[in-house]
């Protein structure tokens, strides 16, 4: 059996249940963006020096398959516990001294920058899921909560990696006056 079925050569793909839709369909874009996020996280994990962040990332990558499956129109395996686990990780990471300082300018550290790229893919996935829901498609509300929390965590992972590497990526530097990091972003 080949992975090349040729059934998508005309620009359509199948959903769970056999329905054929355009590969440009918003639902396909939603779970395709989650797939892209999983790959971005795989790269970030492969160069991450922090064992705890690597292990958390691997768990998240596995959970993205569940999230993606829920976006195909199939049964959703997403749980409140998955969202709560991300929330706990966010709270634990942001409580570490020196992780929250200011807006960050990505690129001072390769691994941190890889997590910043993954974060932006995650935010794009969130926007696509919102559009899908706004178009009247059935979307598990936990999908939005999950990607929203995940993008926060990925930002924090980037800052943690920089902190551990002794890198200062603060946008305005340490000598600038003005408001520090804001939750309003």
Q: Is residue 136 part of a domain?
A: yes
Q: Is residue 101 part of a domain?
A: yes
Which residues face 22 on adjacent strands? 12
Q: Is residue 146 part of a domain?
A: yes
Q: Is residue 5 part of a domain?
A: no
Q: How far apart are CA 86 and CA 157, in angstroms?
A: 12
Q: Is residue 185 part of a domain?
A: no
Domain count, the chain: 1
Q: Tell me, rounded to whole angstroms, the distance of Cα 40 from its chain centroid.
A: 9
Show Cβ contacts of residue 117 under 8 Å, excluding neighbours closer than 6 positions. 40, 44, 106
Q: Which domain holds residue 65?
A: 17-73+95-165
pLDDT in tens, 14-45: 766 677 777 778 988 998 999 999 999 999 99
pLDDT in tens, 50-77: 999 999 999 999 999 999 988 887 667 8
Q: Is residue 78 part of a domain?
A: no
Q: Is residue 183 part of a domain?
A: no
Give me the CATH number covering residue 25.
1.20.1200.10
Q: How far apart are CA 87 and CA 124, in angstroms?
A: 20
The three-class DSSP label of residue 20 is strand
Q: How far apart are CA 45 and CA 111, in angstroms?
A: 8
């Amino acid at each position: 059996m080949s992975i090349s079925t040729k059934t998508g050569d005309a620009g359509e793909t199948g959903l769970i249940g056999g329905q054929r839709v355009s590969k440009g369909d918003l639902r396909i874009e939603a779970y395709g963006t989650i797939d892209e996020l999983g790959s971005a996280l795989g790269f970030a994990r492969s160069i991450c020096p922090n064992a705890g962040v690597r292990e958390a990332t691997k768990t998240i990558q596995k959970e993205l398959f569940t999230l993606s499956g829920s976006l195909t129109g199939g049964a959703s395996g997403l749980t409140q516990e998955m969202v709560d686990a991300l929330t706990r990780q966010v709270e634990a990471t942001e409580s570490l001294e020196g992780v929250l300082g200011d807006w960050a300018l990505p690129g001072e550290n390769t691994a941190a920058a890889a997590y910043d790229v993954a974060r932006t893919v995650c935010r794009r996935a969130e926007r696509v899921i919102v559009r899908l829901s706004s178009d009247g498609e059935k979307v598990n509300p936990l999908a939005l909560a999950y990607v929203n929390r995940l993008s926060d965590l990925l930002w924090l992972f980037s800052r943690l990696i920089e902190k551990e590497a002794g890198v200062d990526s603060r946008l305005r530097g340490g000598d600038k006056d003005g408001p520090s990091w804001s939750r309003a972003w």
